[in-house]
A and B are shown apart, each in its own frame.
Chain A
Amino acid sequence: MDLITEVTIFVLAAFVGFEVISKVPTTLHTPLMSQTNAIHGIVMLGGLIVIGLSDDLLEDVIGVIAIAFGAINIVGGFMVTDRMLGMFARRPKPKKPAESEKG
Chain B
Amino acid sequence: MTLPLAVIEPGGSLATALYIVSFSLFIFGVRRGTHPTTAKQGNLTAATGMAIAIVTTLLLDGIGNWGLLILGLAIGTGVGVVASLRVQMTAMPQMVALYNGVGGGAVALIAWSEFRHGLALGEEIPLDELVPILFSMVIGSVSFWGSNIAFGKLQGMIPGRPVKVPGQQVLNALLLVGIVAACIAISATNDDPSQAVFIAVLIGAAALGNLVVLPIGGADMPVVISLLNACTGLAAAAAGFALDNVALIVAGTLVGSSGTILTLEMATAMNRSVANILFAGFGGAPAAGAAATEERPHRSVSAQDAAIALAYADSVVIVPGYGMAVAQAQHAVKEMADELEARGVTVNYAIHPVAGRMPGHMNVLLAEADVSYEKLREMDEINPEMPRTDVAVVIGANDVTNPAAKDDPDSPIAGMPIIEVDEAQQVIVIKRSLSPGFAGIDNDLFYHEKTSMLFSDAKEAAQGIAAEVQEL
Contacts and interface: CB of A to CB of B under 8 A. Distances in A.
Contacts of A72: 76, 79-80, 83, 99, 102
B110 A76 contact: no
Interface in B232-285: 232-233, 235-237, 239-241, 243-262, 265-266
SS of B interface (majority):
helix
Interface string B291-303: 0000000000000
A30 B254 contact: no
Interface residues of A, number: 80
B96 interface: yes
B293 to A, nearest CB: 32
Contacts of B120: 55
A93 to B, nearest CB: 9
A51 B40 contact: no
A24 B34 contact: yes
Nearest to B107: A43
A26 B363 contact: yes
Contact of A75 (B81, B109, B258): B81
Nearest to A51: B65
- In this complex, the interface size class of chain B, counting residues with CB under 8 Å from chain A, is 35 or more
A64 B40 CA distance: 31
A41 B232 CA distance: 9
Contact of B99 (A23, A32, A37, A59): A37
Nearest to A14: B257
Contact of A46 (B100, B110, B359): B110
Given A27-B376, A78-B50, A17 B257 contact: yes
A25 to B, nearest CB: 7
A82 B257 CA distance: 22
Interface stretch (B111-119, B183-191, B306-314, B419-427): B111-119
Most chain A CB within 10 A, of B11, B226, B245, is at B245
Given A42-B53, A66-B106, A76-B80, A32 B34 contact: yes
A45 B247 contact: yes
Interface string B318-362: 000000000000000000000000100000000101000011110
B80 A63 contact: no
Contact of B43 (A6, A49, A85): A85
B76 A75 contact: yes
A26 B360 contact: yes
SS of A interface (majority):
helix
B416 to A, nearest CB: 16
Interface string A11-30: 00111111011111111111
A66 B110 contact: yes
A69 B95 contact: no
Interface stretch (B54-62, B211-219, B401-409, B441-449): B54-62
Contact of A1 (B60, B87, B116, B244): B244
Contacts of B10: 49
Given A63-B113, A86-B40, A52 B360 contact: no
A46 B239 contact: yes
A50 B79 contact: no
Contacts of A81: 43
Interface string A37-75: 111111111111111111100111011111111111111
B9 to A, nearest CB: 13
Name the 10 nearest CB pairs between A and B, nearest first: A71-B76, A17-B257, A67-B72, A75-B80, A76-B80, A29-B359, A79-B84, A13-B253, A69-B106, A73-B103
10 contacts: A28-B36, A35-B30, A37-B229, A52-B62, A60-B65, A62-B112, A71-B76, A72-B83, A80-B87, A87-B89
